[in-house]
Structures are given as C-alpha cells and as structure tokens.
Copies of this chain bind each other. A is one copy, B any other.
Amino acid sequence: MIEDLKNQARKRATLESPGQTLFIKGKCTMKTHSQKSWLRQSRWWLAGTVAAALLGSTNVRACEACNLVMVNKLLNGSKPSLHASEMSFLINQAEGTGAARLRTSLAALSSTPVSYPGLDLNSPSPFQAAIGGAPRPIQLAQASAPAAQRPAAAAAKHEFLDIIDRDRKLGIPETSYVLPGTKPDKKFTLVMAEGEIALGNGVIYHGFTVNGTIPGPTLIMDEGDVVELTVVNNGEVPHGVSLHAAYTQTSKYFGKIFAGETRTHTFRVTYPGVYMYHCAPGGHAIPMHTLLGQYGMMVVKPKKQKFKMDEVMGRGPDLELYMVQHELYASGKEAVEGKPAYVMFNGSLFRYVASPIKVRPGDFVRINFLNVGPNILSTFHLVGIIWDFAYWQGLPNPENTLVGGQSVLAGPTDSWVVDFRVPPDEGNYLIVNHAFGSTTRGTIGILAATKDAVRSPTVLADGPTYTPEDFAKLKAKAVRTISPFEPGSDELAAPVRLANGEKKMRISIIGNSYYPKVVAVPSGTTIEWTNDDVFAFFDGEFSGVHDVKKGNKGPSDFWSPMLGHGEKWSVTLTEKGEYNYFCTPHPYMEGIIRVE
C-alpha cells in the first residue's frame, strides 16, 4: 500500500529547485498540536495522514505534502478529484492487505513524540523501513509546476509569440504576460504566515496574515510597470497568492506554496485600477485563507488617461486615501455563512475615529476604495460629501466615469476611485459603509476638516503594526480573542448542551472548523459529526475532507475515517472528563467535548 513514499520524495526532490526541496530539507509539517499555542512544526516527513489512516489511534498527524503524496498514490495520478467515500474505500482496501503489519510496526513510533531534525534520503526512514515496497511513479501536478516554470516559459516564447504579437496590435491593453527574463521596474515581497493581530477595542484576532498585518501592504505601481513579486511562505501550512492586477496565468506559479518555500514571478500591469490580492493555496483553501485575513490592495496608477477630476482641478489630489473594507470571523461556520464578527476599514475597529484623518476645507481628496469582503457588500459613503466623480474599478476611462452620487456599491473584490472636495466649512465628515448593521461593527471613520490641519498626503490601507512590547500590552488588556478554528474566548465558545430527552449531540464540520466548538454532555451520549464542507476535491490543503481524532486530552480514544461532504460518523463516550479532538489533515482545527 505505502510502498514507494520515499521514492516519491526523492523524485520530487529531483524535480524541484534547491529552494523548494520540501522533503529533503525535512520541512514536512507534521504538527504537535497544543490547545494553547498555534501550530508547531516537527520535522518528520513521512507520517501524516497515511499513517493516521492506517494505524488506528495514534498521535501521528498529517501535513499537506503527505496528503498530496498519499492521494496521488491512492489514485495513481489518474483522477482529478475523488469523493471521500471512495477514498475511505481505498483506505479500507489497504487495511485488508497490509494494515495489520503496519499497525504493529509503527505502534512504538506513533506513541512517542516525533523529532527528526535531519533526514538522510539514502537510508530508509523508520517508517519506510517498516513499510518497504517497490517504487511506483506518481504525478505531482501542482507541486511540480514551479520547477517547470523556466522551461515552460522558454517554450511559450516560441509557442505563443503569435498571440503576443496579435495582442500588441489590437489597440487595447496587452495581457500581463512577459517573456522570461524581462527586467522588472518594481519589486515587491509578500510574506504569508499564520499569526495574531490586535483589532482595537480590546479584541485580539488569531488567523492568517500578510507581512504580519491584515490587510497586508498596499502595493502601488504604474500602468505599464513590469513587476517582480516574491512570495514567501513563512507559515506552517501551504499558502499562495492571487493577484487581481495581473492579467495572466499566476495559479501555477503562486497557486500553492508549501511552508518554507519562496516563489518569484514577473508580469506587466497593463490595466490601471484598484485591485485585490489574496492568499490562494488551491481549491477550498482559496476562499478559506482569504476569509481568515490574507489579503490587501494593489493599485495600478494610470499613465495614459487622466482622471477627470485631475483635468477639472488642473492638478492631483491634496490627499489620497487607500481604504480597504474587510471582515473578520469568529468561526469557520460564520465565515462560510457570511456572518462576520467585525467589519472594518484598514485593519482596526473604528481606526479613524480613534485617529481621524486630517484635511482642510477646500482640499481635493481621492479615495481608492476596495471592498475585500470576503462576503458582505458595502455602500461606501461620506457624510456631507457627494462625489464629484466616481470611477468604476478605479479606471479613469470615460466609459467608467460617473458623475455625482452619494455612494458607491461594492461587493467582495469590487473597487472604485472617488474624487471630491472638502466643502468650505470646518467639521467632521464621517466615512461609513452605509449598510448599517456592519457599520456598527467597525466601519466608521472620521475625516476631520480644520483650516490649519497638518495632513499627510497619503493614507495607506496596510493594517496597523505594533512593537512586540505594545502588542503584549494590548494582549494582556484584551477582553476577547477570536479564533475561527479554535474555541477562542469563553462567550464565543460557550459549551452547547443537549436539550431535554436528546441522546445525540450533533456537530457540524464546516469552514475548516467544528461547530459548536465546545459541547458538554452526560456520560453515554453519542456524538455525531457531519461534514458540511462542500468542496470535497483533493487539492488545496486537503480541500473540504475532514476527520475527527482525539487529541492529547481525555480518558478514551476515538478516530473517525475521512469524511466527505454530507458524510457522518459518531462515537458514544462513557468515560467522564474533558476531551479535545482535531482533524488530521487540518490539525489547527480543534473541538472540545466535556463528558459529565
């Protein structure tokens, strides 16, 4: 069943450039989960879901790379997707042929904490020694793409030159594709990772970040620029990036970057506008990571066509704001259902109420507005202001230019540039999302006009940063921590109990989290999990396929098979105590059961 895992690793190591030798360097992210800490990374590269699926009750956990290997293995690279029930079937088949032996051989291994800092590929790992078996080639399509980038690009130089030529003659902007080796005008780096930020109002958020903030850095470039982007995965799960200003293939270059990897790709920005970028590690994980906080604004400044307001005023704006509206969630379920805990501008609740943006009467102000969402709509409005001009998606073209208006409507990833003058009167002009339910959760700011205001010409959309000391203080004073994957603050994870006469506690697995997060039941209760995640295809951080495995707390053990969409599994718990449990493909998911 598991015969050639090592061979696959070696093959992979050969295919990839040195910086990407996930397996050789022992970067595999089998985790030791802890209720109180974020993901911890050990360095054993051959366990994971495969072992988890075959060994029964152990503490072995899966990493993304291992999942990918196993799935490719199970499928012989022949099917693009697989329903989890079929996967369970295959695993069960495996159980019939070699699982008993595996179970015995690996019992000791799995019962002790793993720690293998280095790994010599030329000698068999303990795991492989236990397994043996003949190598069989598998196809690692997603993973091998980066390695193929250079030769593929070289090929494209010849194959697609006719398209490039055609596009140059069309009289509309070219796409963003550039030939390999094109010299960049600008360089940017995005560092993807997991982490914590302070939202203001005493709230700490535990999720995913770009360059340590939510939103990530505001990337500003000029129409026609060749941009070299470097993406570093400094986290412990796969990340990636989707770049809305790039009118070209990016998925295969930035579509999935494993922990510790770095990727670079070059493209030309040809359409001006206000764009979103966000994490995109494939499949189900694209929306999940975006929902969790990995996004930012990128703006391509027009060069060929002026904004109408610049023509009217004979100059550019006195003040230019970059405003991102975005949501954060307290559970995966609410992320999927579009019920944010908080909605804000630029990373902090009421950020510009606490620190109003200073302007002077008569100022010409431009706002680059992006609604990141990722779920709810925005009608962006300033109290006391009518736009002089609004530009759809931020392009200055006459076709996209509207006159007047009290608001601009933006769904997730929609953007506008709006231009206006501060009237000849001092006072506060409120900046709001006029969808007022979400406004009360964070989307109010103040533009404060006074005649002698010392104002900054630019306000970026980057989320706030703190020194470690200041962050520690904020955390110490925090009244609430929200964490989509874990219980979080007490009032957000109050234990759910059975109604009168009910014998079964139902838990939904949705949005890479368990819901309810904490349950309290009498001894003898049956706990039933249903996987309500829909995207049950085997790409993108083991998309939408989950299991339930007892963690490091609790008197008795349990472990479900992998569950696809709509599949259920249950266990009846009689021994009293507090159990924690997690999902082996997504070990950051955690739920708690209290048997009383």
Contacts and interface: CB of A to CB of B under 8 A. Distances in A.
Given A202-B83, A440-B533, A494-B506, A409 B414 contact: yes
Those 8 A-B pairs whose CB atoms lie nearest each other, nearest first: A160-B424, A287-B436, A479-B566, A497-B499, A163-B362, A480-B566, A374-B436, A249-B427
Given A163-B361, A287-B439, A479-B567, A273 B497 contact: no
A250 interface: yes
A411 interface: yes
Interface in A362-381: 362, 373-375, 377-379, 381
24 contacts: A80-B353, A80-B354, A152-B426, A175-B386, A176-B423, A201-B534, A202-B566, A244-B386, A251-B430, A252-B427, A273-B404, A273-B406, A286-B436, A336-B440, A353-B537, A373-B436, A379-B413, A399-B402, A406-B413, A409-B414, A480-B566, A495-B502, A497-B499, A501-B596
> Which range holds the interface residue count of chain A?
35 or more
A89 to B, nearest CB: 11
Interface in A320-345: 335-339, 342
Interface string A551-568: 000000000000011111
Contacts of A156: 361, 424-426
A320 to B, nearest CB: 19
A596 B375 CA distance: 43
Nearest to A397: B403
A426 B480 CA distance: 47
Please tell me how many copies of the chain the complex holds.
Answer: 3
Contacts of A281: none
A171 interface: yes
Max chain B C-beta neighbours (<10 A), residue from A172, A384, A442? A384
Max chain B C-beta neighbours (<10 A), residue from A83, A201, A280, A511? A201
A412 B434 contact: yes
Interface string A395-421: 101111111111101111111000001
A196 B269 CA distance: 47
Given A271-B404, A284-B440, A400-B405, 13 more contacts: A85-B202, A160-B425, A176-B423, A251-B384, A251-B430, A271-B386, A291-B437, A374-B434, A392-B402, A407-B411, A442-B534, A479-B565, A502-B520
Contacts of A401: 399
Contact of A421 (B175, B449, B533): B175
Contact of A249 (B441, B449, B537): B449
A227 interface: no
A186 B462 CA distance: 46
A187 interface: no
A38 interface: no
A428 B354 CA distance: 44
B500 A497 contact: yes
Nearest to A337: B437
A164 interface: yes
Q: Taking chain A's interface residues, is the majority helix, strand, or loop, or is none over half, making it mixed?
A: loop
Contacts of A414: 379, 407, 409
A383 B283 CA distance: 12
A396 to B, nearest CB: 10
A596 to B, nearest CB: 6
A463 to B, nearest CB: 17
A313 interface: yes
A423 B373 contact: no
Contacts of A161: 424
A339 B333 CA distance: 12
B177 A424 contact: yes
Nearest to A199: B534
A541 to B, nearest CB: 12
A407 B400 contact: no
